[in-house]
Chains A and B, each alone.
Chain A
Amino acid sequence: MSERILPGLQLEKVDDRIMTLNVGPQHPGSGHMRIILKVDGDYIVHCDPDPGYVHRGEEKMAEYRNYITNIPHLERPVIHDSCNILYPYCLGVEELLGLEVPERAKYLRVIAAELNRCVYTQYWLGIYGIFLGHSTMFMWPVGDRELFIDLLEKMTGARVTHSYFVPGGIRNDVPPNFEDVCLRYVNYFEKRIKEYADVFYDNPILISRTKDTGILSREDAIKLGTTGSVLRASGVDFDIRKKEPYDVYEEMDFDSDVLKEGDSYARSKIPWLDMFQSCRIIRDALQKMPKSGSVRVKLKPNPKGGDTEVYRRVESGRGALGMHIVSKGKPQPYRLKISVGSFRNLIAMPHLLTGEKLGNLPPVYWSLNYWPVEADR
């Protein structure tokens, strides 16, 4: 070990018992991240998650662009959930600039955010299915997801990376027949996701692989500061849409589902249950939405924030998503910190995987609802 070795490389004594295993960063089972495992036979004795493979420096980039030109690049970390990642940014900038969002825009934002949550969850569910060897569960969600992508395309003009939310409202109003089409799609979608229970959630093979694996207790979930589906699967009722309602979530009629088991099965079930609630929210919002009106307040060119800071958060598909914006009276943010659910749930990964069998890595890893690109930012 006395020889100088290149950074990032490590020399290791070959042991006949403990073996080091790199899962990722290009292994399809881990997403774009590396998990460094030490295995003793079939058991994981040490787990060291190593994110950063797709780090893009969004926070640094944001310091060089003004409040409006920040919009398109800030949604890149989660292109499938781009409305929800722009949501706290827009709420924060609105607080900084003192903007009041028109009523119709608030409802359309809620609809877009919920559609986006379903689109993300379906994509995640497809990957979860395929990595457990269930190819039908890849085909169905990815197929059904197209419906909501179509709806979002009608709303925003783009299939993914919508850039729909802007400080002060939304970019454009929806087309005239949107309400009817949306209602029809949502009703069909809800009928469709019910069938997932038969093929996936009640499937004895899935249950045998995920039940009682990777159990996260309620106390640990709180202590580790996990969020979103991981937290709610461990019996903590905490949904920002309920606890700190933003825009018009206060008026919406929905429940946030909580399961007590804390195992991989419960964690994989929560996002699916959430999609039913999303359908309820969308229907409710379509009904309560004002039928006409402006959707955006006009901004001054190059708006400047005051000498202050804000912290706003929303519930995204992967849990709480907060943005801390420090303003110094310039058109650009002085500092923009994005706190994402995936990064916060990363801490649960070594906690859950240590002591598990190697074969339980995919169900535990994917049940954490982890999106490597978002965690790396």
Chain B
Amino acid sequence: MSSTNNTEIEKIEDTSLVSDTEKSLSDSISKKFPNVQITYVNPNRIRVNVKREEIIDVASFIRDELHFDHAESVSGVDYPEDNQVEVVYHLGSYTDPSLSKQILALATRTPREDIPHPGNDNTKLPSLHDVFPSVSFHERECFEMLGVYFEGNPDNRRLLLPEDWADIPPLRKDFAIKGR
């Protein structure tokens, strides 16, 4: 899924299983935001790749028009070969019963630096805290584990790691476990 070519829809796995809900969701996103890349539409799962400038607009659209109301998880994935860090928001809906099976993965990428200075380098993304308040602790975790600074998150402190941690963010690929 990480390939960077800009085809509109890369892969639809077994279209017979994909329901109308997923099709209409992905259609309404691509109609409103033509630059957005929908990488897959699987049963109950949609993945949307956006540029970091657009993520707030797309997230607000997903919340207001498509009725996704909370974030289930925020995972950061490090791609050193692309020189990028990807952040994937998994969004779900409690209020709309037709969406209860759906998880919408909203992914964006930010440049990555070889010698990270978390918070002071180019690895930054706009925070979705104002759109989905549920992301706050998840973004804090992502900041300390991958060094992605979320602009607009009121609380960008350390969370799980020790206070005197002085190494690079541990979920970066160049952080190696001893003996492995």
Contact = CB atoms under 8 A, between A and B. Distances in A.
Interface in B7-56: 44-45, 47
Interface string A256-269: 00000000000000
A307 B70 CA distance: 28
B117 interface: no
A6 B88 contact: no
Interface in B134-180: 134-138, 141, 145, 158-164, 170-171, 175, 177, 180
Contacts of B45: 310-311
B94 A324 contact: no
B160 A51 contact: yes
Nearest to B172: A60
A60 B159 contact: no
Interface in B43-83: 44-45, 47, 69-73, 75, 77-78
A61 B159 contact: no
Nearest to A334: B77
B1 interface: yes
Given A6-B164, A326-B77, A339-B90, A225 B132 contact: yes
Contacts of B177: 60-61, 64
A335 B180 contact: no
Interface residues of B, number: 41
Contacts of B163: 7-8
A322 interface: yes
A362 interface: no
A8 B162 contact: yes
A55 interface: yes
A140 B170 CA distance: 43
Contact of B160 (A6, A55, A334, A335): A55
Nearest to B91: A225
Contacts of A243: 100-101
A376 B77 contact: no
A222 B77 contact: no
A347 B155 CA distance: 12
Contact of A376 (B132, B160, B164, B171): B160
Contacts of A55: 160-161
Interface string B101-112: 101010000000
B90 A311 contact: yes
A238 interface: yes
Nearest to A328: B2
Given A7-B163, A223-B70, A376-B160, A244 B101 contact: yes
A243 B72 CA distance: 15
A335 B77 contact: yes
Given A224-B134, A236-B94, A346-B137, A60 B171 contact: yes
Given A64-B177, A64-B180, A339 B73 contact: yes
20 contacts: A6-B164, A51-B159, A59-B145, A60-B175, A222-B70, A223-B70, A224-B133, A225-B71, A225-B135, A238-B100, A244-B101, A309-B1, A311-B45, A311-B103, A322-B73, A324-B90, A326-B1, A339-B138, A347-B133, A347-B137
